[in-house]
Structure 1
Amino acid sequence: MPIYLPAPKAPAGGPDGKGWNRLSLNSHGGFPAQCALRPRRWGALLESHDTRRARWGGFGPCVNRGNCDDCPVRAALREQCTLVPVNAPRVLVRCEPVFASKALFGGPDGWRLWVTTGPDDQGYRERQKRPWSWEDATRVHGWDLGRPYLDEHGEGFWLERTTRIPAWGCAITTRTRPSSVRHAFRVSGTRVALLHHHGGCAHGEELLNAISHACPGPDGADENRVPVHWRQAAEMTPPAAGDLRFGVDVRTMSVKIVAVDGPRRELARLTLTGSGWTADRVRAAGEALRTYLDH
C-alpha cells in the first residue's frame, strides 16, 4: 500500500509563474512530503489503516526522502507492536495537545495520547508511565479503531478489542500429550481456567483469546469458591449450534462447560475456578466456545 504522500502542486500562475507570490510563505520552502504511517489526528489514523485512501495533509513529514522500502517508520510498524495496558473490551484514548512554553499563536507542537478505561477514569496518568505518540497508536495490533470522542476535557477516540489478541494480564500456556491437549489460563500466576481436548485441538487462536477476555482480573484470580449456584446452570448454558450441544455443571469450587458433538463425542471441556467467575463471565466463556469451536 502506498505510504509516501507528495505535497500538492501549486496551480500555475502568479508573479513567479509557479502559483506563489513573494508574500506567500510557501514560496520560500513549499510543503514537505508526508508519510501515511505518521498520522496527526483521528481521521488520518483511520486512513493509515488502509493507506490507499490516505491523502496529504493530516500526517507528519516523510523522514526518509521517499525511500519507503528502507524506512524506519515502516519497519517499526512490523517490529514494534504497541501494547494496550488495560484489560477491557474497549478503551478511550485521550489526546492531549502539547504547546511550546513561549508559543503565542498556532497549533500544538505535539500530542500526548493517554489510554483510559473510559470518560470517568482519573488514574490513567499514574497507570501509563509514558504517553503514546500518534505513531504508537498506528502500531496497535488486535484493536479496531472506533469512533472519535469529545467532551469538556478534550478530544479522543475509542479502541475496540478483538479476538486477534488475548486479554492483557492473562497468560495462556499449552501442553500437548499423545491423547489430549490442555490450555491453561493464568492471571497473576493463578490458574483461572483450563480448556481440555481429547485428541487434537478443534479451534484456532481466536477461541483462546475469547476465553481470556472472559477471565476475571487479579481480584478474582484465587482458589476460593465460585460465586454462582447450581440453580443458575440452565441460564448459563449456551444454546446449541448445529450438532454442537453444551452442558454446564456447577460445583462448589468450579464451573465446567462441556461441548459435545453428537450423542457422546466430547469436543472440549472448559473448567473455570476462582471467585471471579460471575454468571456473566461464565456466559461469555460459554459463548466463546459456541462461536469459535470447530465442529
Structure 2
Amino acid sequence: MFKEILAQDAARIQAQFDLVLSALDELDVTRAMAYTTQGGKRLRGFLVMESARMYGIDATQAIWPAVGIEALHAYSLVHDDLPCMDDDDLRRGRPTVHVKWDEGTAVMAGDALQTLAFELCTRPEVGNAEIRAELALTLAKASGAQGMVLGQALDMAAETAAAPLTLEQITTLQAGKTGALIEWSACAGARLAQADPEPLRQYAQALGLAFQIADDILDVEGDAEKAGKRLQKDAEAGKATFVSLLGLNAAKSRAVELVDQACAALDGYGAKAETLKDAARFVIARDS
C-alpha cells in the first residue's frame, strides 16, 4: 500500500513539474531543469503530501510545497555533482547536468530550481499569507547555512581535515545535509494546517538519520546499477561514515532503532499515521 501511495504522489509531482516547467522559455537552462527533475523516489514530496493528508489538507493545496521541496532537492543534487564539489558524472543512472550540458548551465539550472522552490511554496493556492510566509521562512532555514548548506560545508571541510570525523560530528553534519529537508517536508502538513509540528519534527529527525545510515550501508553493499550512481566513493576517499565508525552490523541495528523512534513519535496520531510509519520502515529496506 505504501509503495502505491509513494508512486501515485511521485506521478502527481512529476505532472505538476511538467506543467510548471512547460511555461518557461525553451533554453538549455530550462531543459536542464526539466531533465534533473525527472525520476527519483520523491520521498520528500511524499512526506509533504502524506503529512498534509493526515491533517485533512487537500492535495490541490499540498502539491505546491511538495513540488517546491523536490525542486530544491534537485538543485542541491545538481550543485553537489559539480566538479568543484563531489565531481560525479552519474545521477539516477544518467549523466549529471554538467556532463550532459556544461558547468555554467548546471550552476544556472540549480540556481533557477532553488528560486522556483520558494515561488511554488508561496503560491496563493498554498494557503493564507501566514502559512506561505512560514513555509518560506522555514525552508530558507532548512536549506541554507543553518541546514543543508551547513551540512554540505562540513562535509567538504571533512575531506581535508587532519582526522576523520567523530560519530557526533558526522551526526551533526548529516542532520543538516540530509536531515534538514526531510524534517521540513514532514512538518509541512502541520504548517499547512497551522498545527504544532513538534511530533512530526521528532519523527523526521529520526527518519532523516536512519535514511543517511541506510545510504551509507548501500554505499558498501549496494548495487551501483540499482543506485544509479557510483558507490564506495567515501571509502575510497577515506571519509568517515556511519558504517566506518559503527561497523556494518551496528549501523544496521542503529537504523532499526531510529525507525522505531520515528514510529513512536507518531503514536498520538493513531491509525492516520500508519503510512508515515511505513515510510520510515521503507527507508532502511530500500535497495537504491
Asked whether the two chains share a fold, i.e. TM above 0.5, the reply is: no
Task: Give the TM-score of the pair, scaled to structure 1.
Answer: 0.25
Who wins on radius of gyration, i.e. which is larger? 1
Task: Give the TM-score of the pair, scaled to structure 2.
Answer: 0.25
- Higher fraction of strand: 1
Higher RCO, Cα 8 Å, sep 6+? 2
